[in-house]
């Protein structure tokens, strides 16, 4: 399923490509060892392992697990939600803040992928199962896909063999296939019994019927590729989405494993991350959730903070590039299990979101993490969201004409201040445009004054108004301002105040403007000033959850 992802979108050739590229991602621990060893032979300090940069909002991302992080050097994690009383007082506000999410998610279909190493870890497994039982009781239609990689590897080794992979894909011979079936059966049994325990642990919870089996999808062989015969390794041929929905409508919970049958009755071993993405796409699930390793986080190395959200475009560059895949399947520099997991999970998330799943979430198996991720604003993991900003981009010099065409009539009627061609040409770097079929249909300008950013020239072509484009431009500008590290965003307006007030801006006196901006305030125009404290990026994303992007 990963094939083709990132083709043309990778950052191979990008000027942002860091020295070492993906090879450095494939050697997080190696880089740590190098760092501990001091300067390299050439006398230069080794660069930290870089996962990938982003295009418009350059960030320096790394994957970290707890064992990679020095004491006291833990990335700042988002708060999460314990739901427990603190100092004897129930966190009523926390509960209240969850209410919109509970309402939003009730009745929606979600797909959760649970990897074998979590099933194998008693504490993590029981925590995730308790959380899943609660999610189900809160009315979510749940499909769980089980990964068995660890169980299969252990089973193969127990028979005195080493698991065999080529290009990162398992080669499944007849004996391995027998192990796969046993592992899948055992994993399903464990999940069912833990789930019923989870349901019983919630007083008043009624539990639900768990259904599974291989009738929900068909498989086909991967076959022989580049001279390698993958044996019984398969891929998804078709997902019986209607059958799955039927079971969910009946109130059941569906549990799937990667064991699938072909039309001719042969059994194949399908990679579970691919299966999860295929099922989520076929069902058009609202969310695809991957449970990651305990303590595994994606970190912005510049800020040492957990990356809470990734736009699809950024995720595609991270996980979809050829370099990334090469690094994870390279024979000479074998990636660790963690790196491979991030790679496959990332590719599957990108594919799912590209093909209609609204959001993918990468969450640790800590107790409550899944609940915090789904039902709180801050979340707990990393969210990959579809591009509601499709068509929004930085303006280019050739956009000057279109921008002038939009703003000139508004300047004439006094809605916007007057901007001549020279001024727009000089400041074109500050403009952002929204396009449809290459035509510019909206624009906005963003100017930074230290901790403040000013929105200007914000306008939508009249025939395109009322479809959320104004809101999308505003959020895009807010997100860009967030990425600059600014704390406040403001706009000067003479007639459109209500629109901004409804979007969280409040009127402030001119004296609240940064001094630099006060100095050029137009006393004749007497615009009013509206200001808003910026949310962090994740909160901007959370707000978008409530947009009706279908009409955009």
Ligand X SMILES: CC(C)(COP(=O)(O)OP(=O)(O)OC[C@H]1O[C@@H](n2cnc3c(N)ncnc32)[C@H](O)[C@@H]1OP(=O)(O)O)[C@@H](O)C(=O)NCCC(=O)NCCS
Q: What DSSP line would sit under 449-509, residue for residue?
A: ETTEEEEEEEEE-GGGTTSSHHHHHHHHHHHHHHHHT-SEEEEEESS-HHHHHTTT-EEE-
Quote the CA–CA distance of 363 and 381 in Å, as a whole number: 4
In the numeric block, the tokens 């768990």 are attached to: 210
Identify whether the C-beta of residue 80 lies closer than 8 Å to the C-beta of residue 374.
Answer: no
- Is the Cβ of residue 250 or residue 418 nearer to ligand X in the bound state? 418
Quote the CA–CA distance of 210 and 204 in Å, as a whole number: 18
- Is the Cβ of residue 238 or residue 465 nearer to ligand X in the bound state? 465
Q: Interacting stretch for ligand X, rule CB under 6 A, among 338-346, 371-379, 418-426, 490-498?
A: 490-498
Identify whether the C-beta of residue 142 lies closer than 8 Å to the C-beta of residue 110.
Answer: yes
Q: Interacting stretch for ligand X, rule CB under 6 A, among 141-149, 178-186, 300-308, 464-472?
A: 464-472
Write phi, then psi, for 89 (nearest 5 degrees).
-110, 125
- Is the Cβ of residue 346 or residue 470 nearer to ligand X in the bound state? 470
Identify whether the C-beta of residue 112 lies closer than 8 Å to the C-beta of residue 142.
Answer: yes
Identify whether the C-beta of residue 329 lies closer than 8 Å to the C-beta of residue 18.
Answer: no
CA 274 to chain centre: 17
524 binds ligand X (CB under 6 A): no
We find the least distance from the C-beta atom of residue 410 to ligand X, in angstroms, to be 5
We find the least distance from the C-beta atom of residue 546 to ligand X, in angstroms, to be 13
Quote the CA–CA distance of 19 and 23 in Å, as a whole number: 9
Quote the CA–CA distance of 491 and 455 in Å, as a whole number: 5
Among 171, 177, 460, 513, binds ligand X (CB under 6 A): 460
467 binds ligand X (CB under 6 A): yes
Quote the CA–CA distance of 67 and 337 in Å, as a whole number: 14
We find the least distance from the C-beta atom of residue 469 to ligand X, in angstroms, to be 4
Helices 174-200 and 149-158: crossing angle in degrees, nearest 10, is 130
Interface pattern 499-518 for ligand X (x via CB under 6 A) = x-------------------
Quote the CA–CA distance of 34 and 384 in Å, as a whole number: 32
Among 223, 414, 466, 485, binds ligand X (CB under 6 A): 466
465 binds ligand X (CB under 6 A): yes
Write phi, then psi, for 350 (nearest 5 degrees).
-60, -45
496 binds ligand X (CB under 6 A): yes
Among 183, 235, 468, 505, binds ligand X (CB under 6 A): 468
412 binds ligand X (CB under 6 A): no
**In the range 158-217, which residues lie near ligand X by CB under 6 A?**
none
Size of the site for ligand X (CB under 6 A): 18
We find the least distance from the C-beta atom of residue 354 to ligand X, in angstroms, to be 25
Of 531, 552, 353, the C-alpha closest to 452 is 531
469 binds ligand X (CB under 6 A): yes
Burial class (CB in 10 A: 0-12, 13-18, 19+), 414: exposed
- Is the Cβ of residue 147 or residue 456 nearer to ligand X in the bound state? 456
- Is the Cβ of residue 55 or residue 497 nearer to ligand X in the bound state? 497
Write phi, then psi, for 364 (nearest 5 degrees).
-80, 160
Quote the CA–CA distance of 381 and 164 in Å, as a whole number: 32
We find the least distance from the C-beta atom of residue 536 to ligand X, in angstroms, to be 22
We find the least distance from the C-beta atom of residue 19 to ligand X, in angstroms, to be 43
Q: Interacting stretch for ligand X, rule CB under 6 A, among 220-228, 347-355, 373-381, 460-468?
A: 460-468
Q: Interacting stretch for ligand X, rule CB under 6 A, among 29-37, 268-276, 359-367, 459-467?
A: 459-467
We find the least distance from the C-beta atom of residue 537 to ligand X, in angstroms, to be 20
Quote the CA–CA distance of 513 and 509 in Å, as a whole number: 8
- Is the Cβ of residue 101 or residue 499 nearer to ligand X in the bound state? 499
353 binds ligand X (CB under 6 A): no
410 binds ligand X (CB under 6 A): yes
Among 275, 446, 491, 531, binds ligand X (CB under 6 A): 491
Among 498, 522, 524, 548, binds ligand X (CB under 6 A): 498
Identify whether the C-beta of residue 174 lies closer than 8 Å to the C-beta of residue 218.
Answer: no
529 binds ligand X (CB under 6 A): no
Identify whether the C-beta of residue 288 lies closer than 8 Å to the C-beta of residue 146.
Answer: no
- Those residues whose C-beta lies under 8 Å from the C-beta of residue 224, and which sit 6 or more positions away, are 230
**In the range 53-72, which residues lie near ligand X by CB under 6 A?**
none
Among 493, 505, 538, 544, binds ligand X (CB under 6 A): 493
549 binds ligand X (CB under 6 A): no
We find the least distance from the C-beta atom of residue 93 to ligand X, in angstroms, to be 29
The site for ligand X (CB under 6 A) is made up of 410, 415-416, 458-460, 465-471, 491, 493, 496, 498-499
């Amino acid at each position: 399923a990963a094939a083709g992802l990132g083709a043309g979108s990778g950052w191979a050739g990008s000027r942002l490509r860091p020295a070492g590229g993906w090879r450095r991602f494939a050697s997080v621990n190696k880089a740590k060892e190098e760092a501990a060893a001091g300067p390299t032979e050439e006398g230069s300090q080794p660069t930290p392992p870089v996962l990938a940069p982003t295009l418009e909002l350059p960030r320096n991302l790394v994957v970290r697990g707890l064992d990679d992080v020095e004491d006291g050097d833990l990335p700042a994690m988002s708060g999460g939600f314990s739901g427990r009383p603190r100092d004897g007082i129930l966190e009523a506000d926390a509960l209240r803040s969850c209410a919109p999410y509970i309402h939003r998610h009730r009745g929606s279909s979600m797909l959760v992928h649970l990897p074998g190493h979590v099933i194998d870890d008693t504490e993590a497994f029981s925590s995730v199962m308790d959380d899943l039982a609660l999610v189900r009781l809160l009315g979510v239609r749940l499909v769980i896909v089980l990964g068995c990689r660890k169980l299969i590897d252990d089973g193969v080794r127990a028979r005195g063999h080493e698991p065999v992979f080529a290009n990162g894909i398992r080669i499944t011979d007849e004996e391995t296939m027998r192990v796969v079936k046993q592992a899948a059966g055992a994993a399903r049994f464990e999940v069912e019994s833990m789930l019923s325990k989870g349901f019983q642990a919630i007083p008043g919870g009624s539990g639900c019927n768990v259904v599974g089996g291989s009738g929900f999808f068909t498989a086909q062989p991967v076959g022989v590729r580049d001279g390698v015969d993958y044996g019984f390794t398969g891929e998804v041929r078709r997902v019986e989405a209607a059958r799955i929905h039927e079971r969910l409508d009946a109130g059941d919970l569906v549990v799937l494993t990667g064991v699938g049958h072909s039309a001719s009755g042969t059994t194949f071993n399908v990679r579970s991350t691919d299966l999860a993405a295929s099922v989520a796409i076929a069902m058009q699930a609202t969310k695809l959730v991957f449970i990651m390793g305990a303590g595994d986080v994606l970190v912005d190395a510049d800020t040492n903070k957990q990356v809470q959200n990734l736009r699809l475009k950024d995720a595609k560059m991270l996980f979809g590039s050829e370099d990334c895949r090469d690094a994870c399947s390279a024979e000479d520099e074998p990636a660790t299990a963690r790196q491979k997991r991030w790679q496959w999970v990332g590719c599957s998330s990108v594919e799912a979101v590209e093909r209609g799943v609204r959001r993918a979430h990468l969450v640790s198996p800590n107790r409550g993490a899944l609940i915090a991720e789904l039902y709180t604003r801050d979340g707990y993991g990393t969210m990959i969201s579809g591009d509601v900003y499709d068509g929004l981009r930085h303006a280019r010099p050739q956009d000057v004409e279109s921008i002038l065409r939009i703003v000139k009539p508004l300047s004439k009627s006094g809605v916007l201040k007057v901007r001549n061609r020279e001024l727009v040409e000089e400041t074109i770097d500050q403009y952002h445009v929204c396009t449809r079929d290459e035509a510019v249909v909206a624009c906005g300008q963003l100017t930074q004054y230290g901790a403040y950013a000013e929105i200007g020239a914000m306008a939508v072509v009249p025939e395109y108004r009322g479809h959320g484009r104004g809101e999308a431009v505003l959020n895009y500008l807010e997100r860009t301002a967030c990425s600059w590290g600014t704390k406040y965003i403001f706009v000067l307006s003479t007639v459109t105040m209500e629109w901004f007030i409804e979007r969280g801006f409040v009127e402030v006196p001119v004296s609240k403007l940064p001094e630099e901006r006060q100095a050029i305030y137009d006393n004749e125009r007497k615009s009013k000033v509206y200001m808003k404290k910026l949310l962090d990026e994740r909160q901007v994303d959370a707000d978008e959850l409530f947009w009706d992007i279908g009409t955009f």
